[in-house]
Structure 1
Amino acid sequence: MIRRRSLLGAASLLALPVARPVAAQPGGWKPERPVTLIVPFAGGSGTDAVARILADLLGQQLGVPVVVDNRAGANGAIAAVQAARSAPDGTTLFVTTNTTHSANPSLLKRIDYDPVADFTPVARVGNLPFMLVVGEGVKARSLGELLDMARQKPGSVTYASGNSTGIVAGATMARMGKAEMLHVPYRSTPPAMTDVIAGRVTCMFVDIAAGLANVQAGKLHVLAMSTKERSALMPGAPSMAEAGLPGFDITSWNGVFGPAKMPPEIVATLNAAIQGALVRPEVKQRFASIGFEAFSGPPEALDAFVRAELVKWRDLIEAAGIEKE
């Protein structure tokens, strides 16, 4: 069994071109004060980067300031509890991922929130594809070579993690590759990446948004993408299936939620603002430039997706042999 400690998120941030306001609907809701986007990870994480772009978009379309509030800790659970206990008036939203809303119920022995009952789904935002990377000093330049290293000297290959996707992807790689690897957990992605670059840890799964700059600088080398198919954001990198582990398919998703019992007119206005922004080609391209696949849909689709992902991540975690902490 693979034991695990609490940890969190990844990232970066970029400014956005001015957004065209969404046309107000008759009787549509308008916030009377600034809107806060609670993020469960530290600055420098992929979700933080996405939230800051989203804050720019929503600020332009809602006509009020939108600020990001990073509340890292307890694998995102601290932020989730804060968001769930906020007033359901539309001025506090939760920009989160599979960590809090898919994985935590199966990773943690106790969480003080319910991913379904305590939140109102607003809109899906997109996916954060992850890549398996090694530092310059690691001789392996393919997944096969990395697994061979681990098999030849059990426990000599280490993998860092800064969030639940990194935890589960690393454990799944070791299990499917029939290799003994040592897990090195971190509080967030940036320090984990720093140690991989420095050679103190062999490898890690990191989202494109957080790791792209270091890949472009040659400090990190991409061995494979964590998704079943190649990612359009990194077309030159093989999928894990292509690289030698058929059936490997793990990615991180992002969505926006409000506290439970948020009025339908508020949800409708926020969803229209997000969907209206994410269909624009220039907005999609801006997100793509930081390694994020942007798309959206109705609140009902996010609700069904979260329920299905809870089952998927439970199965992934059980199969990887990760014990609850």
Structure 2
Amino acid sequence: MHKKWKILLAATCMAGAVLSNTASADTYPSHAVTMVVPWPPGGPSDIGARPLAAHLQKMLGQSVVIDNRAGAGGNIGSNMVAKAKPDGHTLLLSSSGPFVINPYIYAKMPYDAEKDFTPISNLLQVPLVLVVNPSVPVNNLQELLAYIKEKKGDFQWASAGNGTTQHLTGELFRMTAKLDMVHVPYKGTAPAITDLLGGHVPMMFDSTIAIVPHIKAGKVRPIAISSPERSPLLPEVPTFAEAGLPGVEASAWYGLFAPANTPAEVVNTLNKATLDFMQTSEYKRILDETGSRPVGDTPENFAAFVKQEAIKWKDLVQATNTRLD
């Protein structure tokens, strides 16, 4: 009799747990949702995060609060979400770095980028543009390649910092074209662009978000874009493949994540709400203004994309021996 009661009690507990999980998924969200952005306010991540948060708030019926937790290349805010309760009430809106670059350039990571998160949806894919100061006597990619080779190593290029997408895209360009040039890392996009405009460095890669205003103003000359097709924002700028250098494809992408083991029902609810946001005029405005590609997808396809990106950047980091500590 005692054994039967134990079995009955265990079965009751299991049933209760199942019902509890179902109830939590059915009533999600039960309170305010925090969307962590692992960068300072006003950066490129906020361009997608704030309108998405407003839309999720409307769809989910609970407040969605942005929490900017900057530091360590995005690792601090990302780790906060990795360690959060996996119930969908703490989310991460992050760029690609903390997931597919940082694990290979930092000797120690506070989280496992592959195992500690549940991908929900990609949000934006932002191409990068190779630009030069107008004083550089070139008008297209083939002229630039010839010019750099003539310099025999006496040529500098700027980036937003070691290990950034801008830096590694530049390394991809350097390796693909077999160029000898000196990398000058800055502490962010803004100071790098300032020195580019001032003629202190002749060339850099940067996202369309940051560099297009300077292209439109005629302060820098665009050479090629890193997307597989031309950007509607810069229809006159060829892709690298069109310009004669296939293989230089890269983007700074932004996506929504939850902690690992978040219930599938909650993930699907968030994915559906995010895809709904991508049908809005606000999202289309963001695409138009940033030159981004629409990339809404299933959680499974986004997870597969992140894995592919991790392999790509890992290989490049190892080939260039890029380390931050």
Tell me the TM-score normalized by structure 1: 0.83
Per-residue CA deviation, residues 267-291 of structure 1 (Å, 9 max, x unaligned), is 1221111011213466324332222
Q: Cα gap change, 1:181/1:65 in structure 2, threshold over 3 Å: closer, same or farther? A: farther
Cα deviation code 1:111-145 (max 9, x no counterpart)? 12111211111112131111112234433332233
The residue type paired with residue 126 of structure 1 is L
The farther-off stretch of 89-98 and 123-132 is 89-98
SS of structure 1 residue aligned to 2:296: coil
Q: Is the 8 A contact 2:208 2:291 kept in 1?
A: yes
Counterpart position of 1:85: 83
Cα gap change, 1:64 to 1:27, in 2 (>3 Å): closer
Deviations 1:84-123 (A, max 9, x none): 1223232321112221111222222221211121111111
User: Any stretches of 5+ residues in structure 2 without a counterpart?
Assistant: 1-24
Secondary structure in 1 matching 2:123? strand
Corresponding residue number in structure 2 for 1:22: none
- Which SS does the other structure have where 1:88 is aligned? coil
SS in 2 for 1:243: coil
CA contact (8 A) 2:29 2:88 kept: no
The answer to whether the Cα contact below 8 Å between 2:29 and 2:89 also exists between their aligned partners in 1 is: no
Q: Given the superposition, is the C-alpha separation of residues 324 and 268 from structure 1 closer, same or farther in structure 2, using an over 3 Å criterion?
A: same
Residue 218 of structure 2 corresponds to: 218
Q: Is the 8 A contact 1:39 1:47 kept in 2?
A: yes
Supply the distance in 2 between the matched residues of 1:236 and 1:112 (Cα, whole angstroms): 43
The residue that corresponds to 1:6 in the other structure is none
Paired position in structure 1 for 2:58: 60
Letter in 2 for 1:54: L
Whether 1:199 and 2:199 are equivalent positions in the alignment is: yes
Tell me, what secondary structure is at the counterpart of 2:26? Answer: coil
How many residue pairs are counted as aligned between the two chains? 298
Instruction: State the AA in 1 paired with 2:106.
Output: L
Equivalent residue, structure 1, for 2:300: 300
Distance 1:36 1:221, change over 3 A: farther
Asked whether 1:317 is paired with 2:291, we answer no
Equivalents in 2 of 1:71, 1:146: separation in Å? 39
Q: Percent identity?
A: 37
- Cα distance in 1, alignment partners of residues 85 and 230 from structure 2: 41
SS of corresponding position for 2:122? strand
Distance of 1:315 and 1:244 partners within structure 2: 23
Matched residue type, 1:42:
P
Q: Counterpart amino acid of 2:43?
A: S
Partner Cα distance (2:147, 2:90) in 1: 48
* Equivalent residue, structure 1, for 2:155: 156
Distance 2:200 2:310 in 1: 33
Structure with the bigger percentage of helix: 2
Give 1:105-184 correspondences, 5 Å limit. 105-153=103-151, 154-162=153-161, 164-184=164-184
SS at match of 1:309: helix
Contact kept, 8 Å, 2:124 with 2:294, in 1: the verdict is yes
Amino acid at match of 2:289: S
Moved more, 137-146 or 304-313: 137-146
Structure-2 change in CA distance of 1:293 and 1:67 (3 Å): farther
Instruction: Check conservation: 2:48, 2:286, Cα contact below 8 A.
Output: no
For 2:292, the aligned partner's letter is F
The secondary structure found in structure 1 opposite 2:145 is helix
Residues 135-170 of structure 1, C-alpha deviations (whole Å, 9 max, x = no match): 344333322333333222213232223462111111
C-alpha distance in structure 1 between counterparts of 2:77 and 2:187, whole Å: 14
The structure whose Rg is larger is 2
Q: Tell whether the 8 Å contact from 1:39 to 1:95 is kept in structure 2 after alignment.
A: yes
CA RMSD after TM alignment? 2.3
What is the TM-score when the length of structure 2 is the normalising length? 0.83
Q: Is the 8 A contact 1:288 1:294 kept in 2?
A: no
Gaps of 5+ in 1: 1-25
CA–CA distance in structure 2, aligned partners of residues 231 and 220 of structure 1: 17
Correspondence for 1:5:
none
| Alignment-mate amino acid for residue 246 of structure 2 | P
CA contact (8 A) 1:150 1:157 kept: no
After superposition, where does 1:210-249 map in structure 2 within 5 Å? 210-249=210-249
Q: 1:237 to 1:64 in 2, by over 3 A?
A: same
